[in-house]
């Protein structure tokens, strides 16, 4: 339960980040948000056991702290891009070294499932990896091309609307492709992921 609470609090911070960072930047405190995310990244890196993941986390934390030192406000706007880059790398890693992240998550509810499901979940993981990869340059260029307000609106609202639509489309497609498959309600699945999702990452970090 404690791990689920931590995950929920960190998720809420990420959700609030675009609007919080825009406000702090206007008030001249853009470095504060970089310190917060550098601390979270460093904490996550210390808990990782694999050298590669730890090195990536430490490098990201150092980059954020350098942004504070050099007062580089643009790094504040880059954090969503760095998050999506991290997710692209994570999803791609599980495609290179299966089982895929989507399969890991589904097995939290269904330890055993029919032949063909694992391959389908690998395809779903590919879709999410591409979605995250596309958002890396989109979130990085928005504050330059259309301004900070549009960046905050996209990263704080529209990207999550797109995620929801993508999940909804996959849910309907899954029902059509596998008509005999047991599919639990979306809220039940979301609750399972919130409480047990950290288990899907254990052997990735360790």
**CB-based contact 150:88 (threshold 8 Å):** no
Q: Is the pLDDT of residue 110 over 90?
A: no
CA-CA distance, 70 to 57, in Å (whole number)?
20
Q: Is the pLDDT of residue 176 over 80?
A: yes
Domain count, the chain: 1
Query: Which two three-digit tokens encode residue 68?
Result: 């504070």
Average pLDDT taken over every residue of the chain: 81
Of 64-73, 77-86, 123-132, 143-152, where does mean pLDDT reach its minimum? 64-73
Q: Which range scores top for mean pLDDT: 52-61, 159-168, 190-199?
A: 159-168
Specify the DSSP class assigned to residue 185: -
Of 4-8, 63-67, 103-107, 202-206, where does mean pLDDT reach its minimum? 4-8
- Looking at the chain, the whole-number percentage of residues with pLDDT higher than 70 is 81
Q: Is the pLDDT of residue 12 over 70?
A: no
Q: Is the pLDDT of residue 126 over 80?
A: yes
Q: Is the pLDDT of residue 8 over 90?
A: no
CA-CA distance, 157 to 16, in Å (whole number)?
10
153 exposure class (CB count in 10 Å sphere: 0-12, 13-18, 19+): middle
Q: Is the pLDDT of residue 92 over 80?
A: yes
**Which among 128, 151, 150 is positioned nearest to 140, based on CA atoms?**
151
Which residues form the domain of 68? 2-205
Query: Which two three-digit tokens encode residue 55?
Result: 């090195």
Dump pLDDT digits (tens) for 56-66. Answer: 788 888 877 77
């Amino acid at each position: 339960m404690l791990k689920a609470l931590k995950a929920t609090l960190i998720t809420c911070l990420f959700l609030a980040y675009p609007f919080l960072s825009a406000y702090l930047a206007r008030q001249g405190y853009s470095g504060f948000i970089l310190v917060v995310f550098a601390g979270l990244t460093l904490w996550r890196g210390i808990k990782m056991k694999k050298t590669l993941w730890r090195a990536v986390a430490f490098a990201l934390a150092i980059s954020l702290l350098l942004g504070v030192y050099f007062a580089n406000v643009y790094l504040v706007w880059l954090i969503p891009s760095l998050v999506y880059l991290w997710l692209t790398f994570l999803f791609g890693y599980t495609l290179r070294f299966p089982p895929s992240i989507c399969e890991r998550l589904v097995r939290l509810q269904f330890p055993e499932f029919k032949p063909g499901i694992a391959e389908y979940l690998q395809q779903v993981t590919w879709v999410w990896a591409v979605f995250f990869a596309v958002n890396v340059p989109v979130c990085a260029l928005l504050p330059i091309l259309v301004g900070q307000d549009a960046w905050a609106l996209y990263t704080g609202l529209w990207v999550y609307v797109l995620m929801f639509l993508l999940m909804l489309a996959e849910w309907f497609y899954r029902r059509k492709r596998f008509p005999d498959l047991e599919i639990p309600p979306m809220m039940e699945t979301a609750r399972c992921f919130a409480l047990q999702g950290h288990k899907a990452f254990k052997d990735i970090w360790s």
